[in-house]
């Protein structure tokens, strides 16, 4: 074998090892981070009082009160997978109609700079009976408002487009009531071991991340329906 051939095969070998090594390192890092976060959250959840499980009252519910299946989501308006999932969940609600009830819980992640402000905006809209409209609008416009140089002005603009009383909305965004509702949902999340978003529970059972897609969710809802 010539020197040129040897060099080429060494390069090819190096690329193979790099691809394999970086893939393994990334896999190991992600798995470890997931396990550590899970352990930390479980430890913290064990120290919380039993009342922490209640969450904000009343919760934001969409769907029939007599539905057999309750799907509870812990979401963050600035998290990309939550945004991707919002369309999937809307389709799921349409597919199952009165058999499915959807509950949304606030779980803004600290790493998302504007998630808390968006959560407050949705709660402030909720105080004017427009929570779900604001929820849908925040996800539909998720590529616009987080990138704005004035996020608050964008959120107010969204509220205005829904015909919300803007003066009251602005006041409510900073109100204690709104902050307490978000804190209560976060506390419920922590008591249930929620460490990231989106996390979904079907009739109180946490779904694995691998099920957060149309076939996985349909299978989980069907299973919950047949279990009843």
Partner 1 sequence: MSTTSQVADATRARPTLYVTAAVLSLIGLADSVYLTVEHLVGENAGCVVARGCAEVLGSNYASIGPLPIALIGALAYFIAFSLALLAAFDYRRCELFLLLLVQAMFAVTLWLLLVQAFVLHAFCDYCLLSAAVTVLLTVTALTSQIIRSR
Residues making contact with partner 1 (CB under 8 A): 4, 8, 11-12, 15-16, 19, 22-23, 26-27, 30-31, 34, 79-81, 83-85, 87-88, 143, 208-210, 212-216
Closest CB 160 distance from partner 1, rounded Å: 24
Q: Which residue has the tokens 């992640």?
A: 109
Phi, psi for 9 (deg, rounded to 5)? -70, -30
Phi, psi for 47 (deg, rounded to 5)? -90, -5
Q: Which residue lies nearer to partner 1 by CB, 88 or 103?
A: 88
How many other C-beta atoms lie within 10 A of the C-beta of residue 34? 13
Closest CB 11 distance from partner 1, rounded Å: 6
**159 exposure class (CB count in 10 Å sphere: 0-12, 13-18, 19+):** buried
Closest CB 210 distance from partner 1, rounded Å: 4
Q: Which residue lies nearer to partner 1 by CB, 80 or 97?
A: 80
Adjacent-strand bridge partners of 101: 63, 70
Q: Which residue lies nearer to partner 1 by CB, 4 or 228?
A: 4
How many other C-beta atoms lie within 10 A of the C-beta of residue 155? 28
Q: Which residue lies nearer to partner 1 by CB, 3 or 50?
A: 3
Closest CB 212 distance from partner 1, rounded Å: 6
Closest CB 189 distance from partner 1, rounded Å: 18
CA–CA gap between residue 87 and residue 97 (Å, rounded): 15
Q: Which residue lies nearer to partner 1 by CB, 69 or 82?
A: 82
Q: Is the peptide bond before 197 cis (omega within 30 degrees of 0)?
A: no
């Amino acid at each position: 074998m010539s020197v040129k051939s040897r060099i080429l095969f060494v390069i090819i070998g190096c690329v193979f090892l790099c691809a394999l090594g970086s893939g393994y390192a990334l896999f190991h890092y992600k798995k470890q981070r997931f396990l550590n976060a899970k352990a930390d959250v479980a430890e913290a959840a064990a120290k919380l009082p039993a009342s922490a499980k209640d969450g904000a009252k009343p919760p934001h519910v969409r769907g029939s009160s007599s539905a057999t299946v309750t799907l509870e989501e812990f979401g963050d308006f600035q998290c990309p997978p939550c945004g991707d999932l919002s369309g999937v969940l809307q389709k799921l609600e349409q597919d199952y109609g009165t058999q499915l009830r959807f509950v949304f819980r606030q779980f803004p992640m600290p790493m998302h700079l504007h998630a808390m402000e968006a959560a407050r905006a949705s709660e402030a809209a909720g105080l004017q009976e427009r929570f779900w409209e604001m929820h849908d609008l925040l996800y539909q416009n998720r590529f616009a408002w987080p990138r704005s140089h004035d996020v608050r002005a964008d959120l107010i603009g969204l509220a205005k487009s829904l015909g919300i009383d803007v003066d009251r909305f602005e006041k409510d965004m900073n109100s204690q009531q709104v902050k307490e509702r978000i804190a209560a949902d976060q506390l419920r999340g922590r008591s249930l071991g929620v460490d990231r978003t989106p996390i979904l529970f079907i009739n109180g059972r946490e779904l694995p991340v691998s099920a957060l897609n149309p076939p996985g969710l349909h299978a989980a809802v069907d299973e919950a329906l047949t279990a009843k």
